[in-house]
Amino acid sequence: MKGFIFDLDGVLLSTDELHYQAWKKVADKLGIPFDRTINDRLRGVSREASLEIILEKYDGRLSAAEKEDLCNEKNEYYKELLHTLNERTILPQVRETLKDLRAQGYRLAVGSSSKNTKTILQRTELDSCFDAVSDGNNISKSKPDPEVFLKAAEYIFLDPKECYVVEDADAGIDAAVAGGFYPIGIGPASHCAAAKLKIDDFTQLKDIARYGSGNAR
């Protein structure tokens, strides 16, 4: 293996919680029941597809323009929350693990559905930790389609079979499998049957990188 492709939200930092808070505001305004269990289904899924999942519990009908307004509204709330991020938001062990992987000679990329990826990487000063970024702005199909990871692999000049994908979302694990990558599940995705390897601590990646995938636990 020669590379690692990291999902962003819920893997490198806890922006999954900020997505939840922003959607919660929209759902509350419409009187739609929305909780963390439903939110888990939004992991890795595009903004528009997330809204459709939330609207499953909505009785009324919305036009395409109204849906677009709701997506924009959610994103405005989300962007306000992103102002709370800075370099101290990233756990020291995450930054240290990324440095270690790079020192071992691995190429590192981000593969995220989010159109806010670059803002987040800049605010947290994570941008210098990666060789390439593939995100919601360079894809036409969101996870579980493998496009975002295939682009990431291309940007670091590697074949999918040479790359681990680290994901907290079932949709992301499915995308990794579909693209021919080696999927590693963390957080909620550590329960995902399709994850070839399940870790509960980001630092375990150092040993996986050093000794191979048989050494996660």
- Using rule CB under 6 A, residue 47 touches ligand BG6: yes
- For the bound state, the minimum distance from the C-beta of residue 150 to ligand BG6, rounded and expressed in Å, comes to 17
Position 9 contacts ligand BG6 (CB under 6 A): yes
End-to-end CA distance of the chain: 19
Distance CA 204, CA 217 (A): 8
Ranges within 72-131 binding ligand BG6 (CB under 6 A): 75, 112-116
Give the separation between CA 128 and CA 209, rounded to whole angstroms: 20
Considering only residues 153 to 192 of the shown chain, the ones binding ligand BG6 according to CB under 6 A are 169
Which is nearer to ligand BG6, 95 or 115 (by Cβ)?
Answer: 115
Q: Which of Mg ion, ligand BG6, none has residue 180 at its interface (CB below 5 to 8 Å by kind)?
A: none
Instruction: Indicate the SS3 state at residue 62.
Output: coil
- Which tokens go with 159? 């074949």
- Number of H helices and E strands in the chain, helices first, is 9, 6
Determine if 168 is a binding residue for Mg ion (CB under 5 A): yes
Residue 47 contact, options Mg ion, ligand BG6, none, Cβ 5-8 Å cut-off depending on partner type: ligand BG6
Residue 183, preceding bond cis, omega within 30 degrees?
A: no
Catalytic residues: 7, 9
The binding site for Mg ion (CB under 5 A) comprises 7, 9-10, 168-169
